[in-house]
Copies of this chain bind each other. A is one copy, B any other.
């Protein structure tokens, strides 16, 4: 079955809204909002996708991907994250620049292209944002992620991923001199607003609770 780029993007959006942030029962409006289209457009597309048996959905009901729909979405995510890895490790792209270009590259299907790219990159398990890269068979281990906000004072941690991967947030990280695998020490937590004083590369910086909840760390 030959899918359009629009159809593919809807499937990936549905994957993120249902399976990925688990047990959330997404509706037409959320989907439309997520993709920046009108609810009417999303509704029309849902009918087309149901016709192709990629999504399970009945009038006024909740949205769900079919098995084949979700396989397609996982393949897209695989391509997306492999390209992000390539851009980051070989083409000098910044952490905050890769997503946008990968949004385009992910729509190129050639199986040989992707398997060769994967091998060229040395079969990476995670992309530059710390997200797991699905294998060709669709299997992948979702990394166990703890937020910076959840760590005890005094602990030394390493950034492994971000929850909010918006350009705005990634740029903010960059401007602080933080990036994937930066080492951070938690110095102090201010009870007043739950902001946290962190130390890294000699610097001490205060970050908000919201910030700390959007940074995933290990260790």
Is A22 on the interface with B (CB-CB < 8 A)?
Answer: no
Is A87 on the interface with B (CB-CB < 8 A)?
Answer: yes
Is A108 on the interface with B (CB-CB < 8 A)?
Answer: yes
Binding stretch for chain B, among A42-50, A51-59, A88-96, A130-138: A88-96
Is A183 on the interface with B (CB-CB < 8 A)?
Answer: no
Closest B residue to A87 using CB positions: B113
Is A175 on the interface with B (CB-CB < 8 A)?
Answer: no
Is A173 on the interface with B (CB-CB < 8 A)?
Answer: no
Q: How many residues of A contact B (CB 8 A)?
A: 18
CB < 8 Å neighbour of A105 from B87, B93, B108, B116: B108
Least CB distance, A73 to chain B, in whole angstroms = 20
Within 8 A of B (CB), among A101-138: 101, 104-105, 107-108, 110, 112-113, 116-117, 120
Determine the distance from Cα of A110 to Cα of B94 in the docked complex, in whole angstroms: 14
- Provide the residues of chain B in CB contact with A97, threshold 8 Å: 112
Contact A91 B116 (CB under 8 A): yes
Contact B105 A91 (CB under 8 A): no
- Provide the residues of chain B in CB contact with A113, threshold 8 Å: 87, 91, 101
- Provide the residues of chain B in CB contact with A110, threshold 8 Å: 100-101, 104
- Provide the residues of chain B in CB contact with A108, threshold 8 Å: 101, 104-105
Least CB distance, A80 to chain B, in whole angstroms = 13
Closest B residue to A100 using CB positions: B110
Within 8 A of B (CB), among A66-87: 87
Closest B residue to A104 using CB positions: B108
Contact A91 B104 (CB under 8 A): no
Pairs across A and B, CB under 8 Å, 21 listed: A87-B113, A90-B120, A91-B112, A91-B113, A91-B116, A91-B117, A91-B120, A92-B116, A93-B112, A93-B116, A97-B112, A100-B110, A101-B108, A101-B110, A101-B112, A101-B113, A104-B107, A104-B108, A104-B110, A105-B105, A105-B108
- Name the 6 nearest CB pairs between A and B, nearest first: A91-B116, A104-B108, A101-B110, A101-B113, A92-B116, A90-B120
